[in-house]
Amino acid sequence: MDLEILKIKLAESQKKQKELESQVEELSDFIENASLPLHWVNGSGIIIWANKVELDFLGYSKEEYVGKHISNFHADKNIIEDIMTRLIKKETLKNYPAKLKCKNGKIKPVLINSNVFWKEDKFIHTRCFTRDISELQKLEERKVEQILALENKNRALKLENASLKQDLNFIKNN
Same domain, 19 and 52: no
- Mean pLDDT of successive 10-residue segments in the chain (174 residues)? 80 88 85 89 97 96 98 98 97 98 97 97 97 88 84 83 77 76
Quote the pLDDT of residue 11.
Answer: 83
- Could you tell me the residue range of the domain that residue 20 belongs to? 1-32
Same domain, 56 and 117: yes
Same domain, 139 and 122: no
Q: How many angstroms separate the CA atoms of 56 and 103, rounded?
A: 10
Same domain, 81 and 118: yes
CATH of the domain at 45: 3.30.450.20
Same domain, 68 and 96: yes
Q: What is the DSSP string of 40-53?
A: EE-TTSBEEEE-HH
For 94-112, the three-class secondary structure string (H helix, E strand, C coil) is EEEEEEEECCCCCEEEEEE
Same domain, 25 and 53: no
Question: What radius of gyration, in Å, describes the C-alpha atoms of the chain?
Answer: 29
Same domain, 83 and 125: yes
Quote the pLDDT of residue 146.
Answer: 87
Taking alpha carbons only, the member of 67, 43, 28 closest to residue 124 is 43
Strand partners, 132: 110
Same domain, 8 and 41: no
Domain count across the chain? 3
Quote the pLDDT of residue 116.
Answer: 98
Same domain, 25 and 55: no
Quote the pLDDT of residue 128.
Answer: 97
Same domain, 147 and 73: no
Helix (H, G, I), strand (E, B) or coil at 154: helix
Residue 113 contacts residue 96 (beta carbons within 8 Å):
yes
Same domain, 44 and 126: yes
Quote the pLDDT of residue 171.
Answer: 78
Quote the pLDDT of residue 1.
Answer: 60
Same domain, 120 and 156: no
